């Protein structure tokens, strides 16, 4: 049974106008439907909806463009100022929403904090560089060292910050190296001064009981130089080697708090040093010298007597005077004379008076 399609007739000026024939559905999909299913339902441009016709190119050109949705926070030009009513406005006087004002304020606060951190770091770097520059020695410890190359000029940090930071690091490293070198030289000088003081004081104390220490040291060094010559050390280097060995002995004794003079004296004795014997005193010669002194004193007494002065204190020692002494004075004179010249000289003095 077929369905009758009911249509209405329309007359226009007595003529009959038939209605449009309905579209007959087929089993095939249109191109627009295929695009629709292929896109997963997102592309509807090819679908033909009832009561619509595809837009012609002229109609598409006349279609109004869609403006982007305005954001709640309009763009802000320049700085934000608060007017006398407390309302934030931009540089053009436009009202600024509170959220935008707070966001700009937070960004400004963050930028200010970062700038302050950078300034603090820059200040610390400059202070450190200034301190290192002030404590640097004005002259190199080794005068024989070649002159340093000309230093690079300091870049302007306001113009090229990275160049200035690189220059500052190089300068600080150079200054620290120079300071370490000078400190090492100062430490060596202090050690040398301390060893010199220790050696001098120890030798002075040792020499009181051993006045021949200088002779012993000279003998030991001379023998050691001869030994180095036998070992093949050049003559112009032997003295320096011996002094270096003596210096090592001084360091060791100073470290162990032992007598360096005693050590050197014993080493000299090991190398053949012997103390010189004191010259023997000739009693006869000593007595003759004493008589000559007494004669000179007697002549002085005569001169004083002629001048009216007292000669009792200058009276010479003669056998006659000894004979007229009291027992106590005689005993004292005899003891002093014998202690100074010996018993034999005293006997010769008494016998010479006969």
pLDDT 10s digits, 275-316: 876 666 666 666 667 666 666 655 655 544 444 444 444 456
* Domain assignment present for 12: no
* Domain assignment present for 181: no
Counting residues of the chain whose pLDDT is more than 90, the rounded percentage is: 11
* Domain assignment present for 239: yes
* Domain assignment present for 343: yes
CB-based contact 180:244 (threshold 8 Å): no
Are 265 and 196 in the same domain?
Answer: yes
Q: Which among 224, 243, 270 is the end of a domain?
A: 270
Tokens 């209405």 found at? 8
Residues 6+ apart with CB under 8 A from 155: 163, 164, 167
Are 195 and 260 in the same domain?
Answer: yes
Computed over every residue of the chain, the mean pLDDT equals 72
Among residues 313, 344, 342, which one has the least CA distance to residue 352?
344
Are 198 and 265 in the same domain?
Answer: yes
- Residue 161 scores a pLDDT above 60: yes
pLDDT score recorded for residue 222: 92
pLDDT score recorded for residue 8: 45
Are 257 and 305 in the same domain?
Answer: no
Are 262 and 293 in the same domain?
Answer: no
Are 230 and 193 in the same domain?
Answer: yes
Among residues 27, 34, 9, which one has the least CA distance to residue 19?
9
Rounded CA separation 351/176 (Å): 88
Least confident of 114-128, 133-147, 242-256: 133-147
Least confident of 67-76, 199-208, 311-320: 67-76
CB-based contact 96:88 (threshold 8 Å): yes
User: 205-208 — which CB contacts under 8 Å span 24+ positions?
Assistant: 205/261, 206/259, 206/261, 206/262, 206/265, 207/261
Q: Tens digits of per-residue pLDDT, 37-47?
A: 677 667 777 66
**Phi (first) and psi of residue 83, to 5 degrees:** -80, -175
Least confident of 102-116, 121-135, 235-249: 121-135
Q: Which domain holds residue 265?
A: 188-270
- Residue 241 scores a pLDDT above 90: yes
Q: Which among 231, 248, 270 is the end of a domain?
A: 270
Among residues 284, 315, 313, which one has the least CA distance to residue 298?
315
Q: Tens digits of per-residue pLDDT, 165-205?
A: 888 888 888 888 889 888 888 888 888 888 888 888 888 99
pLDDT score recorded for residue 61: 54
CB-based contact 80:90 (threshold 8 Å): yes
pLDDT score recorded for residue 267: 92
What SS3 state is found at 95?
strand
Q: Calculate mean pLDDT across residues 320-336.
A: 80
Residues 6+ apart with CB under 8 A from 206: 213, 259, 261, 262, 265
- Residue 127 scores a pLDDT above 60: yes
**Based on the structure, what is the number of domains in the chain?**
2
Are 230 and 298 in the same domain?
Answer: no
Among residues 22, 18, 26, 10, which one has the least CA distance to residue 50?
22
- Residue 351 scores a pLDDT above 70: yes
* Domain assignment present for 346: yes
Residues 6+ apart with CB under 8 A from 142: 185
Among residues 316, 325, 319, which one has the least CA distance to residue 294?
316
pLDDT score recorded for residue 188: 85
Higher pLDDT, 137 or 332: 332
Q: Tens digits of per-residue pLDDT, 24-36?
A: 555 566 777 777 7
pLDDT score recorded for residue 130: 64
Least confident of 8-22, 112-126, 211-225, 328-342: 8-22
* Domain assignment present for 194: yes
Q: Calculate mean pLDDT across residues 318-334.
A: 78
Rounded CA separation 248/344 (Å): 53
Q: What token pair was written down for 138?
A: 């004005």
* Domain assignment present for 275: no
* Domain assignment present for 303: yes
Are 266 and 192 in the same domain?
Answer: yes
- Residue 328 scores a pLDDT above 50: yes
Are 266 and 291 in the same domain?
Answer: no
């Amino acid at each position: 049974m077929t369905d009758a399609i009911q249509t209405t007739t329309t007359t226009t000026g007595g003529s009959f106008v038939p209605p449009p024939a309905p579209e007959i559905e087929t089993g095939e999909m249109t191109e627009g439907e295929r695009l629709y299913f292929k896109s997963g339902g997102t592309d509807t441009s090819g679908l033909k909806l009832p009561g619509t016709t595809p837009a012609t190119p002229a109609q598409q050109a006349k279609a109004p463009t869609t403006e982007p949705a305005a954001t709640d926070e309009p763009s802000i030009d320049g700085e934000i100022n608060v007017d006398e009513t407390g309302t934030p406005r931009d540089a053009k006087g436009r009202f600024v929403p509170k959220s935008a004002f707070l966001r700009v304020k937070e960004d400004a606060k963050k930028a200010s904090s970062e700038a302050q951190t950078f300034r603090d770091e820059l200040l610390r770097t400059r202070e450190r560089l200034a301190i290192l520059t002030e404590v640097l020695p004005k002259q190199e410890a080794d005068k024989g060292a070649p002159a340093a190359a000309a230093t690079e000029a300091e870049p302007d940090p306001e113009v090229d910050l990275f160049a200035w930071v690189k220059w500052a690091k190089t300068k600080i490293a150079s200054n620290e190296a120079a300071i370490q070198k000078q400190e090492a030289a100062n430490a060596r000088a202090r050690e040398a001064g301390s060893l010199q003081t220790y050696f001098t004081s120890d030798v002075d104390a040792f020499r009181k009981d051993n006045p021949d220490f200088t002779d012993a040291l000279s003998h030991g060094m001379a023998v050691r130089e001869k030994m180095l010559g036998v070992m093949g050390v050049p003559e112009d280097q032997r003295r320096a080697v011996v002094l270096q060995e003596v210096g090592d002995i001084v360091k060791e004794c100073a470290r162990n708090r032992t007598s360096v003079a005693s050590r050197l004296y014993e080493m000299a004795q090991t190398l053949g040093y012997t103390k010189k014997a004191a010259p023997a005193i000739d009693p006869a010669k000593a007595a003759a010298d004493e008589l000559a002194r007494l004669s000179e004193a007697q002549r002085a007494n005569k001169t004083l007597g002629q001048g009216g002065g007292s000669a009792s204190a200058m009276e010479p020692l003669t056998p006659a005077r000894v004979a007229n002494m009291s027992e106590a004075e005689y005993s004292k004179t005899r003891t002093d004379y014998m202690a100074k010249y010996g018993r034999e000289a005293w006997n010769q003095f008494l016998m010479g008076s006969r």
